[in-house]
Amino acid sequence: MCINVIGAGLAGCEAAYQIAKHNIKVNLYEMKPKKKSPAHKSDLFAELVCSNSFKADRLNSAAGLLKEEMRYLDSLLLKAADKARVPAGGALAVDRDLFSNYVTDEINSNEYINVINEEISEINNENINIIATGPLTSDKLAGYIGKLFGNSLSFYDAAAPIVDFKSIDMKHAFFESRYGKGDKTDYLNCPMNMEEYEIFYNELVNAERAPVKDFDVKDPKVYEGCMPIEVMAQRGHDTIRFGPMKPVGLTDPNTGHRPWAVLQLRKENSSGTMYNLVGFQTNLKFGEQKRVFGLIPALKNAEFVRYGVMHRNTFLNSPEILNNDFSVKNDIKLFFAGQITGVEGYMESASSGIIAGINAVRRLKGLKSIFLPDTTMIGSLCRYISDNSVKNYQPMGANFGILPELENRPRDKKERGQAYADRAINDLKIYLESVNL
């Protein structure tokens, strides 16, 4: 008995790990290092191509609840994240190399997982298959999937730049977390006064962008969750000042006042030699990134370790294609997992890999699939991606809006989040005991 998993990203590694736990052989296909997408640089598994943050870690947040549910399901990636954690205030952020190394070592050392470094262009229907090739699915496999369903979609995604810490002008920067949350050194703030912001804003919206390769889509979409800063800025003069550059909760020690706008930097690695520009995903040309972002006083002489890039993301019209166990509606031996299904976010992708892996095992054994309660974050995501009443389907991340309403809804936001979390974890425990998982 063997199950094929295609893609060793976040979802694929979680799926392979869950299958191997049941002493079932896994063929894990990964085209790296022989071939890489434009956004991938490392040969390691579970590569983080965008931010190094897994969002909020507190239980009364949607992202924190999702991670807590994943811990109950024995998530491999959360074990890796705990080993590779770097300071990030209330968020869970990691040293991306340590994180990927941990996952890669765990997968390679597992006796039930056979890693095959090949590009897959079509599926062998004799075995159960999980396609977890992510939003950067290779052209050959994307073409095969397109022929199967005829209605896969494309949009564009962007990554933020990373700068060398030593090149940051600390005379114009200060360490502080908003409202004093977390450790003071979790975020490095680059403040701007009104005049500096005006100059920066005007140059940003008029800067030259890099050409986007034609992926045979006439009207490429930019996904809201990873909006390039220059695209966001075009929506209005103060849009980014109330978004990624919001100054609330911060006081510039040089002036004693709240800045007009602030760019926050966060540690990219545990040693703190590199920092990423939080919320500054971009498709500007490399020279323009250096010029425009250099207008922020603290980054005047910044050395860019990595420039921001933009790349294609592909996802299915899942409500028409998938069941809520991540199997295909007209082919129950074929599963999808990860961002290709339209779950948005690192942990959302990983959680779908857990569910697909568990259900692939149950399919192999002739057991019924598990369907987590819709009061859980994972259960609600599963139902959202398979809800054929959803029109104009777009990727969805963890949020309390997809959960059933509370019977006695607290007015206080934190109390409300805690109530959602308490209900979810209680229902999850009861369900897992009932299915003996």
Q: Establish if 250 belongs to a structural domain.
A: yes
233: domain CATH number? 2.40.30
409: domain CATH number? 3.50.50.60
The per-residue pLDDT for 372 is: 98
The per-residue pLDDT for 224 is: 64
Q: Are residues 241 and 298 in the same domain?
A: yes
The DSSP result for 74-106, as a single string, is: T-HHHHHHHHSEE--TTEEEE-HHHHHHHHHHH
Q: Are residues 330 and 419 in the same domain?
A: yes
**pLDDT means per 10 residues in the chain (437 residues)?**
95 98 97 80 88 92 97 98 92 94 98 96 91 88 88 72 92 91 87 97 95 47 74 94 95 95 90 89 94 97 88 84 95 95 93 98 96 96 89 82 88 92 98 91
pTM, to two decimals? 0.77
Q: Looking up tokens 């490429």, which residue turns up?
A: 220
Tokens of 204: 């940003």
- Burial level of 366, CB count in 10 A (0-12/13-18/19+)? exposed
**Rounded Cα gap, residues 211 and 285, in angstroms:** 8
Picking from 432, 279, 418, 309, the residue whose alpha carbon sits closest to that of residue 49 is 309
Domain boundary among 312, 342, 361: 312
Q: Are residues 275 and 326 in the same domain?
A: no
Assess contact for 351 and 409: CB atoms under 8 A.
no
Assess contact for 195 and 296: CB atoms under 8 A.
no
DSSP 8-state assignment for residue 163: E
Q: Are residues 305 and 320 in the same domain?
A: no
Q: Establish if 290 belongs to a structural domain.
A: yes
Residue 174 amino acid letter: F
Residue 69's contacts (CB-CB under 8 Å, 6 or more residues apart) are 351, 372, 376, 377, 378, 424, 425, 428
Q: Looking up tokens 């006695």, which residue turns up?
A: 408
Assess contact for 10 and 349: CB atoms under 8 A.
yes
Q: Are residues 62 and 143 in the same domain?
A: yes
**Rounded Cα gap, residues 365 and 88, in angstroms:** 42
Q: Are residues 6 and 130 in the same domain?
A: yes
Q: Establish if 157 belongs to a structural domain.
A: no
Residue 29 amino acid letter: Y
Residue 283's contacts (CB-CB under 8 Å, 6 or more residues apart) are 156, 158, 209, 210, 212, 228, 230, 231, 308, 309, 310
Domain boundary among 312, 332, 356: 312
The per-residue pLDDT for 218 is: 35
Residue ranges making up the domain that contains 206:
162-312
Centre a 10 Å sphere on the Cβ of residue 375 and count the other Cβ atoms it contains. 18
Picking from 258, 251, 244, the residue whose alpha carbon sits closest to that of residue 194 is 258
**Rounded Cα gap, residues 261 and 373, in angstroms:** 42
The per-residue pLDDT for 383 is: 92
Picking from 74, 13, 84, the residue whose alpha carbon sits closest to that of residue 54 is 84
Centre a 10 Å sphere on the Cβ of residue 152 and count the other Cβ atoms it contains. 19
What's the number of domains the chain is made of? Answer: 2
Residue 234 amino acid letter: Q
Q: Establish if 261 belongs to a structural domain.
A: yes
**Rounded Cα gap, residues 242 and 378, in angstroms:** 30
